[in-house]
Structure formats: structure tokens, C-alpha cells
Structure 1
């Protein structure tokens, strides 16, 4: 009898940790491979500024910043993968709803995968708060880092490329034909018509809006490159130094 009781107790002892392990696993979001496999056919293919490559860059920057800042990567990384599930055109009247719609769709899928409600809520908040146009305040460290990672992709060489691709998508000219740059007084900024104006209306302001020191340092480096690009662009528009040859 005692032997039988010991055997049953031993079975129970081994069963409880296994059960708890499964519960903990279910509380977390699916692994990155699973998320990417589910995401790939659903991500925007018509918008190269918000395609899978953009998502992958944001994931890696979020990982770098999250590790440096001590964030919960079990929340941050799934949120980074799923942050642009719904991509609406920049000139759409519904553009400000893209992040909240992405959060809703991500939450529905995560719950269907057995992810714990509290984990889903934390991931959904990150997604809903990441957007510049959504105007949702980031309340958690992970949400702030996702904002930073996404905004970093709007700066530097890749930011320039994305900016001009986006402007072209709704018919904006590269720059104002008579006054490519302005201080905002000589003429009003209009980034709906002139893509270069977007550098001033939004992109140059991003470094000061970064939440983390890690992201701020990266942003300032990328900002420096963008200003050099702008100087080169303005020089080429004006034809300066084109006829000079090296000695």
C-alpha cells in the first residue's frame, strides 16, 4: 500500500511541474518562427515602406534596444513582429486607425494560439501605441521601445528611401520647384505635395522624441546623415560644383 501510494505521489510530483511548464508556455506568445510564418502572407505587399523588410528591421532594432534597456522581450518582440499588420496609405482618412486595427487583429490571433490574456493585452498596447498618427500614449517600457524602434526606421539612409517611396505613392513631388527648402516663413511646409518638406514637418523632430537613451544616440547619428544628404541634394538642384574637377 505504501509502495503504491509512493508511486502515485511520485507520478503527481512529476506531473505538476510538467503541467505548470505547459501553462507558462501557453502564457507566452508563439515563437518568432511561428509568428513570421503566420505574418508573411498577411503583411502589406503594395507598400514597400511597411513591408516585411521594414518589420524585420524594427524587430532587430527593438531587440537591440530592449536588451540594452532591460525590457521584457517576451512582450516586445511579438509586438514588433505584429505592429504593422494593417497598413493604410499615408494620405488615407483612416490612417490614424491602422495601429489600433493592427492591435485588434494581433490580439485575436494571439488568443487563438492560447496566449494568456494579460500577455495579449501588453502586446496589444505596444502595437496600438507605436504609431505617430495614432496618438496613443505609450505606458510601458516595451511600448516606448517599440515606438523608438519604429521611428528609427524613418531616419538615416533607409528613412530617406522610405520617405521618398511614400511620397511618390500619393503623387508628391520630390521638392518645391522654386524653393526646395524653407524655414517655414518664406513659404509654408506642405509634405502632402513636397516630400522633402516631410524632413522638417516630422523626421528631423524624431530624435528629441525618442524615449530611450539607446535609441536617441542612434537617431542623432542617422539625423546627421540625413542633413548631409539634404545639403548634397540642394547642391545638385542648384548645380553647384558640378563643373568642378578634382586636381
Structure 2
């Protein structure tokens, strides 16, 4: 089924390019979700659909429509899945999982499927991969790597729109604290440790 989902996503995205939110991101989220669901449970048909369609409407980070991306993706997914004959109850579960995956939306994942999808997507924001995606997005928005004089914001306010490294404290390390399942929390530990080690190493290299 994921071939049909990928085809629809690529159709909607068209020529748009976002290195942090590409087909490989969708595939990795699905792979993580399968690992989590193998222990935590959940309907894999629902989880698969939500994993592949959760970013189908993907405005740039600095677009005013970005705040509505999850809701717009959920609405598109609902129409697409209805056209493919998915049962209404399952579609509703997919819709909730997509709406709840967004960190900024602040929605509580109320179903097992939503918890699995949310956790899988948030694991992508952690570890070496999370670091790579963070700097990619910051570059897209014209941000600097870090504040040269005060990289850890010891004497200034954090500003992750201006500095990629600030995003670690503003959001990414907080993401690990929001994971729903014990399986995802265990998976996150190594990733978080690596991010902190990377941050420390980076600061040691840029000291002047």
C-alpha cells in the first residue's frame, strides 16, 4: 500500500524540495512505527497510512500556513483514503494520528495508533538524524549555525529562528520528554545522549 501513498505524496509535493521532509523521512517514520507497534500494539493499516500522509501538506517553516499543516494534511488524507475505500472508523483514527503528530499543535495522542505515529515522528527529531534535519531546516530559513560569541545562550535569550543550535534547547531535547510509549522512550535515550555529546563537542571546537 505504501507505493500508493508515496505516489500521492509526490503528486501533491510536485517540484517542492525539503531535505528534512522527503519520502525517506516518511519511510523512516513508518519503519520506526513498526518497531514501536510490534511491542505497543495498534492497527498497522492505520499507522501506515498516517506515517506516509502526515506531511502531505508541507508549507515552508516560515509560511503562515505552517501552523495548519497537520490539520490540512489530515483533511487531505481523509479524502484520499475515503476514495480508496478505507472504513470510516479507520479514517477517523488516521485523521487523529496525523493531527496529533504535530509538536506545535500540542494535541494529546488519544489512541494507540496516534501515540505510535507521534513517537515515531518525534524520534526522527533526535540523534544524528535529528541534528542533520535541524541544520537543514535552519539553513532553509537563512539561520546561522550558532551564535559565535554565546553558543549556549548563557547571556542572551534563545532564538532558534536565528541559530540552529538554539533549537536543541528550544524544542528538540524537549521532544524526548513528550514521548508516549516506553518503547520510544528507550529508543530515544541513545539519541539524546548523542545530541548532548555533539553539542559539547561543537562548543569545544568553536571556543576562541
TM over 0.5: yes
1:233 aligned residue: 202
Structure with higher RCO (Cα < 8 A, 6+ apart):
2
1:181 aligned residue: 152
RMSD over equivalenced CA pairs, Å: 1.4
Aligned with 2:46 (options 57, 71, 75):
75
Q: In terms of Rg, which structure is larger? A: 1
Written as runs of structure 1 = structure 2, the 5 A alignment for 1:208-227 is: 208-227=177-196
TM-score (norm 1): 0.80
Aligned with 2:132 (options 161, 168, 181):
161
For structure 1, which runs of at least 5 residues remain unmatched after alignment? 1-30, 240-247
Asked if structure 1 preserves the Cα contact closer than 8 Å seen for 2:126 and 2:188, the reply is yes
Asked if structure 2 preserves the Cα contact closer than 8 Å seen for 1:206 and 1:219, the reply is no
Give the drift of 1:93: 2.2
1:16 aligned residue: none
1:201 aligned residue: 170
1:17 aligned residue: none
Correspondence 1:47 to 2:18? yes
Written as runs of structure 1 = structure 2, the 5 A alignment for 1:58-73 is: 58-73=29-44
Asked if structure 2 preserves the Cα contact closer than 8 Å seen for 1:78 and 1:123, the reply is yes
- Write out per-residue CA displacement over residues 199-245 of structure 1, whole angstroms, 9 at most, x where no aligned residue: 00111112221000111011111010111111111111116xxxxxx
Aligned with 1:87 (options 52, 58, 75):
58
Work out the CA distance in 2 between the residues paired with 1:43 and 1:147.
Answer: 22
Work out the CA distance in 2 between the residues paired with 1:204 and 1:38.
Answer: 32
Asked if structure 1 preserves the Cα contact closer than 8 Å seen for 2:6 and 2:23, the reply is no
Work out the CA distance in 2 between the residues paired with 1:109 and 1:91.
Answer: 27
Work out the CA distance in 2 between the residues paired with 1:207 and 1:125.
Answer: 21
Work out the CA distance in 2 between the residues paired with 1:53 and 1:189.
Answer: 31
- Write out per-residue CA displacement over residues 143-174 of structure 1, whole angstroms, 9 at most, x where no aligned residue: 11111100100011110000001001111111
